[in-house]
Structures are given as C-alpha cells and as structure tokens.
Amino acid sequence: MLEGLIGGLFNGISIGAVLLIVALGLAIVFGLMGVINLAHGELMMLGAYTTYVVQNGANLMGGVAPELYFFAALPLSFLVAALMGLVLERWVIRYLYGRPLETLLATWGVSLILRQFVRSVNGAMAIGIVVFCLLFFGGRWFLERRQQIKPLFNTVLLLLSGAIALVAGLLMNQGGDLLSRAWFSARNVDVTAPSWLRGGLSVGTTLQFPYARLFIIVLTAVCVVGVYWFLQGSSWGLKIRSVTQNRTMSACLGIPTARVDALTFALGSGLAGVAGCAVTLLGSVGPNLGGNYIVDAFMVVVVGGVGKLVGSIVAALVIGIITYLVGSGTLALMLNPYEGLQPLIDFFTFFATTSMAKVMVFAMIIAFLQVKPAGMFPQKGRTAEA
C-alpha cells in the first residue's frame, strides 16, 4: 500500500508539473497583464512542432545530434513562441487592453488561424508569407525613415504586399509536390525522446519513476526559479511589477510601458513554447494539442490566485495529485481494506476514470471558488485595487 501511495503521489506530482509548466506563461499573461489569451494553447503547439522539426533535423545530421537535439529544441521553442507572442501583442492585443471581451474573441480567432495554419502550411505558403513580410515591414521601415508614414500609406502598402504575396504563393503552389505538399497536415506526429530520457528509475521491486517525467519536473522547477528571479531580481522585472500596479504613474516616471507589455507577453508566450517542447515527451503532437491543456491552465491560475506564482505552484500540484489518485483508482484501492468506508469507496470508484476525475475536480473547484473567489492566495494592496 505504501508503494502504491508513493507511486500515486509521484504520478500526481508529475501531472501537476505538466499543468504548472503549461500554466506558468498564462500566469504571467493573464495574472500580471489581465489579458485572456485563448491562443496560449496554440503557442504551446508551436513549441511542440518546433521540437518535431528540430528532431528531424538532428536525425538528418546523425552522429550525437539525435541524442542532444532536445537541448537545442528547448531554446528554439521558446524563441519561436516568444516571437509569435510579440507579433500577437503588437498587432492584436495592444489595441484591446482594457477590453476583455474583445481580447477573448480576437485571441480565439488567432487560435483557430494557427491551428489551420499548422494543418495547411507548405512550401508555397511559407514563401508567400516571407514575401509579404519583406514587402510590408520593409516598406514601413523605408517610409518611417523618411517620416512619410500615414494611415493611407499603411492601407495601400498592406493591400499591395498581400496581393503580391498571394500571387507568389499561388504560382509557387504550381511548382510540384515539393512546394504544394503540406508539411504537417492534420495528422498527429511523433517526437522520439533521446535514449537518455527513455526507461525509468527503479526503486524497490514495483516502483519505477520514468526519466521523461523526472525531466519535466526538473525543467518545471528551473522555469519557476527563473521566472521568480526575473520578476523579483531584475530591473525589467521591477518595471513589469511597477506597470502592473500603476501604469499611469509608471509612464510618468519614464518607464516604457509599451515595451514592458511586449516583453511580458513575449515571456509568457515563450514559456508556452517551452511547455509544448516538454509535453512532446508524453505523447504525439497534433494541431489540437493546445486545446487539450488551455482549460486546465486557466483552472490552475484562477484557483491559485491571479498573479500569484506560489498559488499557481500549489494549485497545479493539488489538482494533479487529486486527478491522478482519483482517476487511476488508487484512492479507492487504498480505502478498500476499511469495510466501514464502503460508501466512500463506491463514490471514488465511480470517478475512477480520467474523464470522470476531471469532472470531480471541476466540481470541487466550483465549490472552492464559492468560498474563496480570489483563489488560494488572493492579491492584496495596490495590486488588488488595480
């Protein structure tokens, strides 16, 4: 029974670590900036597909590259998701601050676009996107250098760049299977873990701790420590906390609030990419990967307390442990020797599947929020008043 409890706790902690690393970026974007980003899961998906591409490149290189590709995939996943987050903040979110409903709808639309992009992207589409970016952003840079940028110029430049890029993409699409074939399509793809992440650490006769889950736990701890240090010990972290508490006063003191917003959103998006890289160790990768985690991530942030890193850690671990102990039937088996607890055993047996365990956890969260609507660790002081 003791070994079963230890194994159940480890599996619950590993699930909690996965939830935490997914929710960590959301805790920054939603908790600090107040932005409801429904495209957070798709940023995570981009990190997962970046890992898949890096793995394929490492396999082509041969040698020791397939064993070390994960160390390259982690920073690249962060960069790809962070750059996409910068684009999203600059061209969508920046115009919607303080308008939560519009932000929710806009980011939901972006999430649908990103899913379809992953399903459909091919060489011709990629060339068209590159042509558009070169023409549009290059044209804006040229006009800004001559101080001739006007809304009319923006509109004309956007239409011309889009038309030329569309024609270029259509022409390239006729260039044979190499350019017209989808890179990923709608099917799931598999990411093979390096050999040093396969297998597990055996303890005793029945316990085994998978190396992949141990790695995710360690990676999550490193990310949490890094985020805490950045927010509490760096000058940009001080600026982020200042803008979060009082944006107007921060702007009066010379803090570049627009740049702080962009950096904060990029950091949260990059962490979503790291989460996508990590979850590739647990299963296949598909366009709907992010949708499987976004609700759980919001759940962790809200239960822990919006803007509270410690709250997100505690909430992720509690939710992960309860979900596994109930969903795997471990809790019902542990209570089985006690005949006087038969009604309780029947209750937990009824919820002893993954889907039903989630239903139970949702019900518990709803009940908990009736008592503590601000979460486990509510904000206090000026942050709560903001």
H-assigned helices in the chain: 2-33, 40-61, 65-91, 100-120, 123-145, 151-173, 177-180, 211-233, 235-245, 247-252, 257-279, 294-304, 309-327, 330-335, 342-350, 354-371, 382-385
Residue 284: how many other CB atoms lie within 10 Å: 13
Q: How far apart are CA 342 and CA 362, in angstroms?
A: 24
Return the amino acid letter for 274. V
Residue given tokens 């805790």 in the structure block: 27
Dump strand ranges (E) for the chain. Answer: 200-203, 207-210
Q: What does the pLDDT read at residue 175?
A: 63
Q: What does the pLDDT read at residue 177?
A: 65
pLDDT at 77 over 90: yes
Q: How far apart are CA 125 and CA 119, in angstroms?
A: 12
Task: Give the chain's radius of gyration (CA, Å).
Answer: 23
pLDDT at 382 over 60: no
Of the two residues 155 and 372, the one the predictor is more confident about is: 372
Lowest mean pLDDT among 299-313, 325-339, 363-377: 325-339
Structure tokens at 319: 């939710």
> What pLDDT digit, counting tens, does each position of 81-103 carry?
999 999 888 888 888 877 888 88
> What pLDDT digit, counting tens, does each position of 149-203 carry?
666 777 787 888 888 888 887 777 776 666 677 777 778 888 888 888 888 787 7
Residues 363 and 46: beta-carbon distance below 8 Å: no
Instruction: Answer whether residue 177 is part of any domain.
Output: no
Residue given tokens 């670590």 in the structure block: 17
Q: How far apart are CA 77 and CA 276, in angstroms?
A: 8
**Angle, CA of 266, 269 and 272, to the nearest 5°:** 150
pLDDT at 49 over 80: yes
Q: What does the pLDDT read at residue 1?
A: 59
Provide CB contacts within 8 A for 147, sequence distance 6+: none
Instruction: Answer whether residue 144 is part of any domain.
Output: no
Residue 233: how many other CB atoms lie within 10 Å: 9
pLDDT at 69 over 70: yes
Query: What percent of the chain shows pLDDT beyond 90?
Result: 9
Residues 8 and 352: beta-carbon distance below 8 Å: no
Res. 211 pLDDT band, cuts 50 70 90: confident
Give CA torsion, residues 201, 191, 265, 158, to 10 deg: 180
Res. 50 pLDDT band, cuts 50 70 90: very high
Lowest mean pLDDT among 161-175, 262-276, 355-369, 371-385: 371-385
Q: What does the pLDDT read at residue 147?
A: 65
Q: How far apart are CA 91 and CA 248, in angstroms?
A: 22
Instruction: Answer whether residue 174 is part of any domain.
Output: no
The burial of 242, by beta-carbon neighbours within 10 Å (0-12 exposed, 13-18 middle, 19 or more buried), is given as middle
> What pLDDT digit, counting tens, does each position of 214-268 carry?
898 899 999 999 988 988 888 888 888 888 777 788 888 888 888 888 888 899 8
Q: 3-class DSSP state for residue 182?
A: strand
> What pLDDT digit, counting tens, does each position of 125-136 carry?
888 888 888 888
Q: What does the pLDDT read at residue 2?
A: 65
Q: How far apart are CA 55 and CA 190, in angstroms?
A: 10
Q: How far apart are CA 214 and CA 206, in angstroms?
A: 17
Q: 3-class DSSP state for residue 185?
A: coil
> What pLDDT digit, counting tens, does each position of 341-351 carry?
777 877 778 87
Q: 3-class DSSP state for residue 367?
A: helix
Structure tokens at 287: 């366009």
| Secondary structure letter of residue 208 according to DSSP | E
Instruction: Answer whether residue 26 is part of any domain.
Output: yes
Residues 289 and 276: beta-carbon distance below 8 Å: yes
Instruction: Answer whether residue 126 is part of any domain.
Output: no
Its domain, for residue 235, covers: 2-121+182-381
* pTM reported for the whole predicted model: 0.86
Res. 76 pLDDT band, cuts 50 70 90: very high
pLDDT at 5 over 80: no
Establish how many alpha carbons lie within 13 A of residue 96's alpha carbon, considering only the half-sphere containing its beta carbon.
Answer: 19
Of the two residues 318 and 354, the one the predictor is more confident about is: 318
Q: What does the pLDDT read at residue 282?
A: 83
User: What value does the mean pLDDT take over residues 357-362?
Assistant: 85
Instruction: Answer whether residue 132 is part of any domain.
Output: no
Of the two residues 316 and 145, the one the predictor is more confident about is: 316
Return the amino acid letter for 284. S
Q: How many domains does the chain have?
A: 1
Average pLDDT, the chain: 82
